[in-house]
Amino acid sequence: MQVKDFNTAERVLVLGAGQLGDAMLSALVPAVEKLNGSVTVIVSPGSWDEQGKLRSETHKKHTAAGAKFISMDVAGATAESLQETFKWYDTIINCMGFVAGSGTQLKITKAVLAAKVKRYFPWQFGVNYDVVGKGSGQPVWDEQYDVRTLLRQQNSTEWVIVSTGMFTSFLFEPEFNVVNLAAKTINALGGWDTQVTVTTPADIGRLTTAIYLHQPRIKNEVVFIAGETISYGKLAETVERMTEQTFTKNVFALPALLDELHADPDNQMLRYRTAFARGTGVWWPMTETFNVKNNIKTESVEDWLKAAL
């Protein structure tokens, strides 16, 4: 194997240290340190107090483990200033998510390519945008499809897309309104047989780090991972069994959701419910996942519930 295949002494840049960034750093920092590499994290300028100290205990924890934090308003920055920062790094792992606003993921990707970064893990920790395509009712998903197109049109930067499905906890988000533990309601998106793939941020962090380190080097590939692929029917059965309670169950059928969305097109959660109710590109068989192929245990919905309850 050629020396360039090893991830030794790499300068890794992580964008964002929120829920996913935190989980990513927990797995990545010790792994990169072991290879004499370095991990730098970009967070917003407001992450420091007046004394120049990091405010967040999470950020302090990663600093103590060896990560270095730098300040940048990625959403407000020009593509040129991002390029200037990015060019000093070998690998960039983007954990910034959709909070950065519309157009930001395309801007980041263009800056990565212009900086000729060797390897890029874009913010694609979600559904299979190749299958979803454009016009899912979720505009940020259209942008994700465009990011893939950009990456595939070039060959100077290697890319790795990690498809994770939905964060497991999102199923239990009252606002999303699939499982509401307090109200004791379960609403199936599309139907009880509709499936969804879910993964916890901790598993995404561990598995992305394993994919980053994997030999032979993984490049220009979509890698699927999953905590569990589950139908809404199985989800309802699991929730009732684990809580030992009976829930009120309803189906949010796709035609009804589309009508609602037509009346309220800017409703973010309604967009998500509609996109997932289609059932297309939002799940994949466990047998196709990196974790199953490499015999790595992940957290199922039942495991998540056990910890949450």
Kindly state whether residue 63 falls inside one of the protein's structural domains: yes
CB 220 within 8 A of CB 158: yes
- β-pairing, 179-180 vs 185-189, is antiparallel
pLDDT (mean) for 54-83: 95
State mean pLDDT over 186-192.
98
pLDDT at 2 over 70: no
Sheet order of strands, 179-180 included:
179-180, 185-189, 248-252
Please check whether residue 66 is in contact with residue 40, taking contact to mean a CB–CB distance below 8 angstroms: no
187 in a domain, yes or no? no
Q: Which residue has the higher pLDDT, 7 or 175?
A: 175
Domain membership flag for residue 101 = yes
* pLDDT at 8 (0 to 100): 72
Query: Is 17's pLDDT higher than 70?
Result: yes
Q: Is residue 273 part of a domain?
A: no
Is the pLDDT at 5 greater than 60, yes or no?
A: no
Among the listed residues 304, 286, 305, the one whose alpha carbon sits nearest the alpha carbon of residue 295: 286
pLDDT for position 7:
66
Domain-located, residue 259: no
State what percent of residues in the chain have pLDDT above 90.
90
Q: Which of 1-15, 145-159, 212-226, 248-262 has the lowest mean pLDDT?
A: 1-15
Are 174 and 182 contacting, i.e. CB atoms less than 8 angstroms apart?
Answer: yes
- Provide the number of structural domains found in the chain: 1
Query: In CATH, what number is assigned to the domain containing residue 7?
Result: 3.40.50.720
pLDDT score of 178 more than 70:
yes
- Average pLDDT (154-161) is 98
Which helix (H) or strand (E) segment holds residue 223: the answer is: strand 221-224
Per the listing, tokens 């595939």 go with 152
Burial class of residue 169, CB neighbours in 10 A (0-12, 13-18, 19+)? middle
pLDDT value of position 277: 96
pLDDT at 134: 86
Q: Which residues of 177-215 are buried (b: 16+ CB within 10 A; e: fewer)?
A: bbbbbeeeebbbbbeeebbbbbbbbbbbbbbbbbbbbee
Model pLDDT, residue 6: 58
Q: Answer yes or no: is 105 within a domain.
A: yes
- Domain assignment present for residue 243? The answer is no
pLDDT at residue 136, as a whole number: 75
What are the tens digits of pLDDT across the range 261-304? 999 999 999 999 999 999 999 999 999 999 999 999 999 999 99
pLDDT, position 139: 79
Does residue 1 surpass a pLDDT of 60? no
Report H helices in the chain. 19-34, 57-65, 79-86, 104-114, 129-132, 139-152, 201-213, 232-243, 254-263, 268-277, 290-293, 301-308
Q: State the chain's mean pLDDT as an integer.
A: 94
Instruction: Name the residue among 225, 241, 243 with its Cα closest to residue 233.
Output: 241
The arrangement of strands across the sheet holding 195-199 comes to 166-167, 195-199, 228-231
pLDDT for 3 = 40
Looking at the DSSP assignment, which residues form a beta bridge with residue 69?
A: 41
pLDDT in tens, 239-265: 999 999 999 999 999 999 999 999 999
Q: How many CB atoms lie within 10 A of CB 83?
A: 18
**Whole domain around residue 105: which residue ranges?**
3-169+197-229+282-301
- Answer whether residue 131 is part of any domain: yes
